[in-house]
Structure 1
């Protein structure tokens, strides 16, 4: 397991458990508001995990490109990040 992602992998496993829990709630025909609240909790956990991976990317991949890469590599990494953020904003 990658050290830089170990905490996020654990977090994703908890989110996976949340998804299974939501499916079980739906199978049990639980109250819709309760199910929707669990969706909101899972979405918040996913957003948090995504932000942590973004921080890891900035502190590892981007930092490495800035320190070791050529100007072209640096521009490519930054353009890649901007494209991703634009896509997520839609």
Structure 2
């Protein structure tokens, strides 16, 4: 398989590495018997970071790969593709 990169990939990797660090600290917090509220807050932060990384990756894919695949479209078809890309931001 050929290498596949977009300009957002370094930012996504950085975000995931940060989430990895937070997750390691949550594991340590659990092992150290920290309060559940603190654990839940940190897990929420990890979850949000991963979710945002996923969202960025999907949007980037739609913005680049989908457009390359479908090629030139007339106005009506283009509008449908644009609406699809917009609605996926709400997933």
Match of 1:61 among 61, 65, 78: 65
Q: Which runs of 4+ in 1 moved over 6 A?
A: none
Match of 1:9 among 7, 13, 23: 13
Partner of 1:35: 39
Q: Which runs of 5+ in 1 are unaligned?
A: 69-84
Task: Measure, in 1, the Cα distance between the counterparts of 2:6 and 2:28.
Answer: 32
**TM-score where L is the length of structure 1:** 0.69
Q: Which runs of 5+ in 2 are unaligned?
A: 73-87
The structure richer in helix per residue is 1
Deviation at 1:42?
0.9
**TM-score where L is the length of structure 2:** 0.68
**RMSD between aligned alpha carbons?**
2.2
Number of aligned residue pairs: give it: 71
